Structure 1
Amino acid sequence: MSGRVLITAGASGVGRAMAEAFDAAGWQVWVADVDPKALGDCPSHWMTAEVDVSDEGAVAGVFEAIDAKWGGLDALCANAGIAGPTAMVEDVTLKDWQTCLSVNLEGAFLCTKHATPMLKRQGSGAVLITASTAGQYGYPNRAPYAAAKWGMVGLGKTLAMELGPHGVRCNVICPGSVEGPRMEGVLQREAAAKGMTRDQVYAGYASGTSMGRFVEAQDIANMAVFLASDAARLVSGQVIAVDGHTVNPDPKL
């Protein structure tokens, strides 16, 4: 199957891996990202847009452009997110809390809100929300992030119920710890907060999975392409972890 896909935060990291995987599978790719430099590094045959997903006007504009250019959309990957602060809840500022929820949860809401009329009109399509295993377990020192990701899981399950009668599926992908710069920042901040080394924190995260390792962006991308395809035509309302099987989300070292 090929189709038309929009990927938010698609110019780098997990989103970039998704974009490349959809491209390789023959899909037309539209990448939205807040980073103009990363967008400039995207292949010339991709459509691109500089967008802050917490800005409803900007989000609406992307979907208007997609409708005008493509006349529809077959898959939305609501992938944009930020890590938020690493701190005990009493040390989290309201501003940091609001920023984390605004990008993660409200960003997913705005993208799905503006994609829905197009998807319902054509009577088909798939919505994929990138949450996190932090949306399945408690996550000490990451209260805003966990709250946002739990909210995204609830959003995804509700969308599956609302959109299913219109032939549209919605699933939530929950990555575990993903190798890359973003997770490196989390490791460094958590090490500082806990008085540990970065390698100790890394080992703790890895030992919390039955497979004993971090996942890679390509693992998430492979799942996204599958869930958007006809091979997953009756998979909806699911929360699917790609994490090497988390057995202890907060291992003590």
Structure 2
Amino acid sequence: ISSIAENNIWPGTGVYAVSKAGLSTLIKALAVDYGDRGVRSNVVSPGDIKTEMNFETAEAHAADRGIDIDAAWAEMVTSVPLRRWGSSDEVADVIAWLLSDASSYVNGATIVVDGGKSNVQVMSKAQLE
């Protein structure tokens, strides 16, 4: 599991982004090196998924903006074309598909599960100031 952060970097997330990019590159290398042995390696890159990590982010966002937690959740997802948070079950469904025979010819792929967010250009902190 990686993250769309490997290609979408926000202020203060550089180390996290580098770790996810490194993981994705490793998985792709494994796909090349071990594909001839029947080993498939793929990356799932979630976006805005309602997880414990994002609960902490929502609380911080609410405090920074002086709004309640529900408003923070709503604001944080405005850059997602589907205009909602994803669930861990939706990510698990993609993983289950990758583990099934239905994906038997998928190797070295990155499957993005982000409601379309990585297709949207989000302005950087510098652009907003």
TM-score (normalised: structure 1): 0.44
Separation in structure 2 between the aligned mates of residue 155 and residue 186 of structure 1, nearest angstrom? 28
Note the 1:20-35 alignment, pairs <5 A.
none
Kindly provide the CA deviation profile for residues 4-40 of structure 1, in whole angstroms up to 9, marking residues without a partner as x: xxxxxxxxxxxxxxxxxxxxxxxxxxxxxxxxxxxxx
Structure 1 stretches of 4+ with a deviation exceeding 6 A read: none
Say whether 1:160 aligns with 2:31.
yes
Instruction: Assess, with a 3 A threshold, how the Cα gap between structure 1 residues 183 and 243 changes in structure 2: closer, same or farther.
Output: same
> Which stretches in structure 2 are left out of the alignment for 5+ residues?
none
Q: Offset at 1:187?
A: 2.1
Kindly provide the CA deviation profile for residues 189-216 of structure 1, in whole angstroms up to 9, marking residues without a partner as x: 3455xx3245555334311111111100
Note the 1:80-229 alignment, pairs <5 A.
130-192=1-63, 195-196=64-65, 197=67, 198-199=69-70, 201-229=72-100
Separation in structure 1 between the aligned mates of residue 51 and residue 41 of structure 2, nearest angstrom? 27
Separation in structure 2 between the aligned mates of residue 241 and residue 159 of structure 1, nearest angstrom? 19
Structure 2 counterpart of 1:248, from 90, 98, 120 = 120
SS in 1 for 2:42: strand
> Which stretches in structure 1 are left out of the alignment for 5+ residues?
1-129
Contact 1:205 1:251 in 2 (8 A): no
Separation in structure 2 between the aligned mates of residue 139 and residue 183 of structure 1, nearest angstrom? 14
Separation in structure 2 between the aligned mates of residue 190 and residue 131 of structure 1, nearest angstrom? 23
Kindly provide the CA deviation profile for residues 41-66 of structure 1, in whole angstroms up to 9, marking residues without a partner as x: xxxxxxxxxxxxxxxxxxxxxxxxxx
Say how many residue pairs are matched.
122
Report sequence identity in percent. 30
Q: Offset at 1:232?
A: 0.4
Q: What is the alpha-carbon root mean square deviation over aligned residues?
A: 2.2
Instruction: Assess, with a 3 A threshold, how the Cα gap between structure 1 residues 152 and 183 changes in structure 2: closer, same or farther.
Output: same
Which residue in 2 is equivalent to 1:68? Answer: none
Separation in structure 1 between the aligned mates of residue 99 and residue 45 of structure 2, nearest angstrom? 15
Separation in structure 1 between the aligned mates of residue 37 and residue 85 of structure 2, nearest angstrom? 37
Note the 1:31-50 alignment, pairs <5 A.
none
Decide which structure has the larger Cα Rg and report it: 1
Q: Offset at 1:181?
A: 2.4
Kindly provide the CA deviation profile for residues 130-169 of structure 1, in whole angstroms up to 9, marking residues without a partner as x: 0011112122222221111111111111111111111100
Q: Which structure exhibits the higher relative contact order, with contacts defined as CA atoms closer than 8 Å and separated by 6 or more residues?
A: 2
Q: Which has the higher strand share?
A: 1
Structure 2 counterpart of 1:231, from 81, 97, 102 = 102
Contact 2:58 2:76 in 1 (8 A): no
Contact 1:139 1:249 in 2 (8 A): no
